[in-house]
Structure 1
Amino acid sequence: MTETRLIDRALIRLSTDDPEEDMREFLQGLVTQDVAAVRADAPQWSALLSAQGKLLFDFLLWADGEDILIDCEASARDSLIKRLKLYRLRRKITIAAEDNLAVHWALDAPDKPHDPRLDALGHRWLEASATDPETGADADWRRHRLSLGVAEGEAELGSEKTLWLECNAAELNGVSFEKGCYVGQENTARMNYRQKINRRIVVVPLEKADTKRQRKAWPELGLSVEHRRIDDLADLDLPDWLQQAL
């Protein structure tokens, strides 16, 4: 059987025993996506930003009954938990690692939810795993994701280095412009209103790499993830979803 588990991903569970507490309302004032749209069969790509609108963490949000699950980079999980606890204050919300479930991905799994960024990214789901695989589906996922020009995570997007709209958040369904305020919302909304996005995160062939703009090189894939100015994209073969936005 083909392995589907993404070992490089981890989960955080937000839960409460207090019927007056609302995890969705708590997150709604923090993250970029509309938490009201999150369902068990409809995850949402979202982010936690700095006050200036720069990306701190990107992740997917899932619903599990009344709880909310955050599907994030395994390497960033502890830092994200710590950050969320800073915002929790005295609220009776538990924010903890969820080790009983794992993140899974497959290109063809029609009974599972599509990745909310692009249908072409394939299908993603959460389920318990009886054993920890020695090798997961991470390499296949990375190859497919980057082939579609989609970057994610600290290594590719940066932490507190990149404005969220420069990460192609609007094109990949990572932000709601209709919800209320959240951390970093003012600058994000202003950029969208003025349509002033001067730089973009792009995936380019390694032979066209600009090392001064490079965030992450993937030599085994022949690809480079870069933060480039808009006027430096003309000679690149960009994916349709991004080309239409420029």
Structure 2
Amino acid sequence: MPTILRPSRAAFRFSGPEAQKLLFDVVTGRLLAEPGPAVWWALLSPQGKVQAEGLSGWAEDAFWLDVDATVADAFLKKMKLYRLRAQVQIDDLRETHAVGWSFDGWAEGIVHADPRGLGERVIAQTTATTGWLPADDSFAAHRISAGIPEQGQDFGIDQNFAHDIGLDLLEGIDFIKGCYIGQEVVSRMKHRGTARRRPVIVSGIDAPAGTSVVASGRDAGPIGEVVDGRAVAILRLDRITDPAAVTVDGKPVTVTLPPYATYQFGDVADE
């Protein structure tokens, strides 16, 4: 399958002798200047809320990152602020490059395997994307089946903690590297077990994104992007005491846990 265009994603390139230090010290993931699969990461607020998330891969002496296009301006502004006088060049590639995904193990451009099992992320100059397929629901269908939420489609800026989106369970957080923005909150949630919300796959939906999931008469959280009647929802686990009594827009739906889940319906987080 050729690469599929993803216009909802914006690409950035970080290079220079202090690029690794900047990214290592600011975002959640273990971003190293070495070849290999991409790393899932998030930029958090000091209060621990997700401001941007995406993948980062090392190639051609630079880090190649992608974020949701709706937060790209805010992400760039923040990273320039954190850079201060460090020797880092930040290139905004939105006018020159496109982001896509391939699922057949081969693609041209800057290619990195998605560590979440979602094929390969591709970044290439816009002039080299004439053979790419137009945007469709293929990537969304894959990630929904895997129970992986995505910013812009499933949640916005400053709405969720890193644990809420499963970042801790898919190696998007380095718990041993030391301080980064929001690290104290992440560490506290890990050690105290205070994650109340987690990704859940909801099937049998006949309602638009943003509609509430109701469990035993209580609002558990909104559904995200809907593809073929399925969506990822970041839900209050403690409110789903009976998975068979869950509705969306008044209609029964099926809720299942992602394959990577270490949590269960009905879990009650500590205060």
**TM-score interval w.r.t. the shorter chain?**
0.7 to 0.9
Query: 1:106/1:67 Cα in 2 relative to 1: closer, same or farther (>3 Å)?
Result: closer
SS in 1 for 2:4: coil
Q: Is the 8 A contact 1:157 1:201 kept in 2?
A: no
The unaligned stretches of length 5 or more in structure 2 are 244-254, 265-271
Query: 1:2/1:155 Cα in 2 relative to 1: closer, same or farther (>3 Å)?
Result: closer
Of 27, 31, 36 in structure 2, the residue corresponding to residue 35 of structure 1 is 31
- In 1: Cα distance, 2:3 partner to 2:83 partner: 37
Higher relative contact order (CA 8 A, sep 6+): 1
Report the CA distance between 1:148 and its aligned residue: 1.5
SS in 2 for 1:154: coil
- In 2: Cα distance, 1:62 partner to 1:3 partner: 17
- In 1: Cα distance, 2:240 partner to 2:165 partner: 15
The count of residues paired between Structure 1 and Structure 2 equals 237
Structure 1: which amino acid aligns with 2:104?
Answer: D
1:105-144 to structure 2, matched below 5 A, reads 105-109=101-105, 113-117=112-116, 119=117, 121-130=118-127, 136-144=134-142
Structure 2: which amino acid aligns with 1:45?
Answer: W
> Which has the greater radius of gyration?
2
Q: Is the 8 A contact 2:199 2:257 kept in 1?
A: no
| 1:103-129 CA-partner distances (Å, limit 9, x unpaired) | 331222168643112x2x222233334
Structure 2: which amino acid aligns with 1:13?
Answer: R
Of 18, 43, 62 in structure 2, the residue corresponding to residue 48 of structure 1 is 43
- TM-score (ref. length: structure 2): 0.77
1:158-177 to structure 2, matched below 5 A, reads 158-177=156-175
Identity, % of aligned positions: 29
Q: Is the 8 A contact 2:2 2:102 kept in 1?
A: no
Q: Is the 8 A contact 1:12 1:77 kept in 2?
A: no
The unaligned stretches of length 5 or more in structure 1 are none
1:146 maps to 144
Q: Is the 8 A contact 1:171 1:245 kept in 2?
A: no
Q: Is the 8 A contact 1:3 1:137 kept in 2?
A: no
2:155 maps to 157
Name the structure with the higher helix share: 1
**Greater alpha carbon shift after TM alignment, 60-69 vs 101-110:** 101-110
Query: 1:39/1:105 Cα in 2 relative to 1: closer, same or farther (>3 Å)?
Result: farther
| 1:85-105 CA-partner distances (Å, limit 9, x unpaired) | 111222232222125443331
- TM-score (ref. length: structure 1): 0.84
Q: Is the 8 A contact 2:200 2:258 kept in 1?
A: no
2:69 maps to 74
Report the CA distance between 1:194 and its aligned residue: 1.8
2:235 matches 1:228: yes
2:269 maps to none
Poorly superposed stretches of 4+, deviation over 6 Å:
none
- In 2: Cα distance, 1:158 partner to 1:229 partner: 17
CA-based RMSD of the aligned residues comes to 2.6
Name the structure with the higher strand share: 2
SS in 1 for 2:167: coil
1:13 maps to 13
